[in-house]
Amino acid sequence: MAYNPSHTAVVILNWNGLRFLKEFLPSVVAHSGGCEVIVADNASTDGSIAFLKAHFPEVRLILLSENFGFCEGYNQALRQVEATYYVLLNSDVAVPPGWMKPVISLMDADESIAVCQPKILSQQHPHFFEYAGAGGGLLDALGYPYCRGRLFEKLEEDKGQYNDVREIFWASGACMFVRAEVYRALGGLEPAFFAHMEEIDFCWRAKLAGYKVLYNGQCAVYHVGGGTLHKSNPRKTYLNFRNGLALLYKNIPQKELMSTLLLRVLLDWVAALRMVMAGQTKDAKAVLDAHLDLFLNRGYWRSRRQVQRQKGDFPDMPGVYRGSIVWQYFVRQKRTVQEL
């Protein structure tokens, strides 16, 4: 099938990201010829809308009534978009010429591919991988997410080691190509997550439904990262720890649920203790708040019942490492995926 970008919509969700729109939207418009470029705005108050109307009249605007967060913001916006493929693209991503063609061509050739991401490099340090996505997302046996090119805070230099095309466990929401019919069939992103790890949850559900998630290292984009919430923000700590457990609770099979959750909770408490010792008391409290919220929120219980109608053996899924990256990184001092 010949490459045809006209059936693709690039959708940028914006919330008070005027500085990023000014810097990065020009590359998206210049290098996404033939496809529709859309900015969906989560009720920004920083002048984003006036700027877009004045400087980018060719970009379609979808104005949302309030800040719905990343998940429901995209869900609300994409209900108004007709396309074969959605590209969920962060506002702080720069794209080079030809960035879409390798991914769209790959998905056109195989209808079982529901999600795909390109290589994601750092905008500030272009020769290094970026934290959120890097060379494709993976999970370990306890559900800890990591990437080829990134273990915890250790980022690898891009030397072509991940220029391949391969199946992964999850694709980054910073630049995620999604087959629109699958997005709709799965109900989109999980609104209860608000933001963070929602793409892992979506990819997991896609896998349970029989689809594949791929990485294509033959093209790259450049991501700033941390544009909305800095990694040291207690709110981000809360979302990461809550959604990390919710991810497991929703998707992991019953036979592995209790043992996996118990170990994760214990390790979370260890992490919280380390935060206290480092003087990060607000982050430690955020971990405990995250646990409390998860176990009191019946919405996750309903979501689990819906997901578990699908069948899938978690340890055998492509992109799952059967060991523990916590053990490998902190005890055995492994610093790259290739060392695992």
Looking at residue 1, its pLDDT comes to: 63
Q: Enumerate the H helices of the chain as residue ranges.
A: 18-31, 48-55, 69-78, 101-109, 180-185, 198-208, 234-251, 254-277, 281-296, 298-307, 325-326
Q: Per-domain residue ranges for the chain?
A: 5-223, 234-339
Distances (CA, A) of 94 to 30, 242, 268: 11, 30, 34
Tens place of pLDDT per residue across the chain (340 aa): 667 888 999 999 999 999 999 999 999 999 998 899 999 999 999 999 999 999 999 999 999 999 999 999 999 999 999 999 999 999 999 999 999 999 999 999 999 999 999 999 999 999 999 999 999 999 999 999 999 999 998 999 999 999 999 999 999 999 999 999 999 999 999 998 888 899 999 999 999 999 999 999 999 999 998 655 555 689 999 999 999 999 998 888 888 888 999 999 999 999 999 999 999 999 999 999 999 988 887 666 667 666 665 556 777 889 999 999 999 999 999 999 999 9
Residue 305, classed as helix, strand or coil, is helix
Domain 5-223, classified CATH 3.30.420.10, yes or no? no
